[in-house]
Amino acid sequence: MWSRHLIRFSNNRWMSTSVATNVKNIMGWWDHVLPAPKDPITSVTEAFLSDPSPLKLNLGVGAYRDDEGKPVTLECVRRAAESISGCEFLESTKATTKSKFVQDSVKLAYGNDSNVVREGRFAGVPALSGTGACRLFAQFQRRFYPDSQIFLPTPTWSNHHDIWRDSQVCTSTYHYYDPDTKGLQFQALMNDIKNAPDRSFFLLHPCAHNPTGVDPNYEQWKEISHICKIKNHFPFFDMAYQGIASGDLERDATAIRIFLEDGHLLGCAQSFSKNMGLYGHRVGCVSIVSRDENQATAIKSQLQQIVRAMYSSSPVHGPLLVSAILNDADLKALWEEEVKVMVDRLIRMRITLRQNLEELNSSASWEHITKQVGMFYFSGLSPKEVDQLQRDFHIYMTNDGRIRGDKQQCGLLGKCNP
Ligand code: LMR
């Protein structure tokens, strides 16, 4: 659209001119920014918070809660916090704190007696929990394999798709969960690994698969490792739930240990949010196994450069807490006990939920609830049923029917007769 205006020059002459008032030409800087689609997990919390009902229950986000629905601070963390009090302000210890934390973290994932650790064949940096660890790896992948893609299981933690998308790495999917059997689609998974182009990146959940709670067994992991080796794929493990599947930190690292034994070079994202309850601290680690120490040094310097340009460096308080626990025999034993208590409680809740549903003569089978492991029950409820539970009973869960398994909530859920 054009409109005519008169312009007066300094010599008092006037000129008539057309001025563009075209909408496009006067568009504001951010007029083209539309609201982002809602996050499938955090939006559940937002909806829950805006519900005024006193009966409301949030079974959405994967953050462990006690019987009253309150966050839990582990006793080992309280004691560790006392023991490190003041250290976090010591600027001079920053570098040593971080390298110690990385060493402690990879030992937990790869094993105390791991050759990789002994030979220094890994590069690792602290990360902002599991998301940060995945993101650093995705950026690293993009930097050195710009045309590569990564295969993600169907389904997977929704943020995996977003993390690799924002790192400009394409994603593909591989078969994982079978909605009919509510178990693993093992053969289809193996076929997808076999049929993927050689030297592909594969994201694997080593334990307590999020959201399904369905993990391959020992023999299946051996086969997965074997086929990945033949295909020269690069396995990247997102281990957000070490300890939370079986209650045993070592046992939950079995998949990674199998791959290491088979001589894979691999990547690993670790988070201490769930197993130490350090949600708000954002403590994690990303590590990459390398051919030798020199390669590890090069990889580490690249990871550090990615961190430097993104947020310079990570905070030290969380790493100090983790190292204090992992290096003190008493605190470590207490931690292991507390992890077991959380997991036993989650298992008891599975049993209660299944019993409650069966007592209501539900026509559906709820056997899968007690077969799955970890923090979530992948209920099999449809999005419509999830909506109904939210609307009529103020029970909130993710749209895919994933339920976080806390006692009080599960008891009530059983009474709702979905
Ligand atoms: C989840 O799956 O709910 C957790 O991993 C928390 C999150 O940030 O998504």
What is the pLDDT confidence band of residue 416, given thresholds at 50, 70 and 90? very low
Output the residue whose Cα is nearest ligand 1's atom 5.
62
Q: What is the mean pLDDT of residues 17-41?
A: 79
For residue 218, the Cα-to-chain-centroid distance in whole angstroms is: 22
Is 2 catalytic? The answer is no
Whole-prediction pTM value? 0.91
**What's residue 95's pLDDT?**
83
Average pLDDT on 89-115 reads 89
Active-site residue, 178 included: no
CB atoms within 10 A of CB 257: 17
pLDDT at 418: 37
Beta-carbon count within 10 A of 49 CB: 10
Task: Note the pLDDT tens digit of each residue in 265-297.
Answer: 999 999 999 999 999 999 999 999 999 999 999
Over residues 398-405, mean pLDDT: 93
What is the pLDDT, as a whole number, of residue 413? 56
From the number of C-beta atoms within 10 Å of its C-beta (0-12, 13-18, 19+), residue 328 rates as middle
Domains of the chain: 1-29 (no CATH), 42-72+332-416 (3.90.1150.10), 75-331 (3.40.640.10)
With a cut of 60, say whether residue 411 has pLDDT above it: no
Give the SS3 label for residue 215. Answer: coil
pLDDT category of residue 85 using cuts at 50, 70 and 90: confident
**DSSP 8-state code for residue 197:** P
Please give the pLDDT value at position 4.
57
DSSP secondary structure letters along 352-405: HHHHHHHHTT-SS--HHHHH--SSEEE----HHHHHHHHHHH-EE--TT-EEE-
Cα of 184 from ligand 1 centre, angstroms: 21
Query: Predicted confidence band at 70 (pLDDT cuts at 50, 70, 90)?
Result: confident
pLDDT given at position 186: 98
For residue 75, count other CB atoms closer than 10 A to its CB: 13
In the residue annotation, 24 being an active-site residue is answered as no
Residue whose Cα lies nearest atom 4 of ligand 1: it is 62
Strands 149-154 and 170-175: parallel
90 alpha carbon – ligand 1 mean position (Å): 32
CA of 235 to the centre of ligand 1 (A): 22
Res. 2: pLDDT tops 60: no
State the alpha helices, DSSP H only, in 244-328. Answer: 254-261, 293-311, 317-326
Q: Evaluate whether 121 touches 308 at the Cβ level (below 8 Å).
A: no
User: Ligand 1 test: best mutation among 157, 161, 399, most atoms within 8 Å of CB?
Assistant: 157
Tens of pLDDT, residues 198-247: 999 999 999 999 999 999 999 999 999 999 999 999 999 999 999 999 99
Say if residue 12's pLDDT is above 60.
Answer: no
Q: What are phi and psi of 284, to 5 degrees?
A: -160, 180
Residue 67: burial class (beta carbons within 10 Å; 0-12, 13-18, 19+)? exposed
- Nearest atom in ligand 1 to the alpha carbon of residue 211 is 2
* Residue in 98, 182, 274, 407 annotated catalytic: 274
Residues 6+ apart with CB under 8 A from 27: none
Exposed / middle / buried, residue 234 (Cβ in 10 Å: 0-12, 13-18, 19+): buried
CA 120 to ligand 1 centroid distance, Å: 32
Find the 273 Cα to ligand 1 centroid distance in Å. 10
Q: What is the mean pLDDT of residues 176-201?
A: 97
- How do beta strands 14-20 and 234-239 pair? unpaired
At position 354, the amino acid (one-letter code) is: R
Query: What atom of ligand 1 comes closest to residue 39's alpha carbon?
Result: 9
- Cα 363 to middle of ligand 1, angstroms: 31
Q: Which helix (H) or strand (E) holds 79?
A: helix 75-84
Atom of ligand 1 nearest to the CA of 131: 8
Q: Choose, from 98, 157, 182, 406, the residue flagged as catalytic.
A: 157
**Residues lining ligand 1, judged by CB closer than 6 Å?**
41, 61-62, 157, 159, 210
Contact (Cβ atoms closer than 8 angstroms) between residue 155 and residue 207: no
pLDDT level of residue 16 (50, 70, 90 thresholds): low
Q: Which atom of ligand 1 is nearest to the CA of 240?
A: 5
Nearest Cα residue to 338 out of 247, 418, 407: 247
Question: Measured at the alpha carbon of residue 61, what is the angle toward residues 59 and 67, in degrees to the nearest 5?
Answer: 50
Length of the chain: 418
Q: Average model confidence (pLDDT) for the chain?
A: 91
Q: How far apart are CA 418 and CA 415, in angstroms?
A: 8
Q: Which residue has the higher pLDDT, 387 or 96?
A: 387
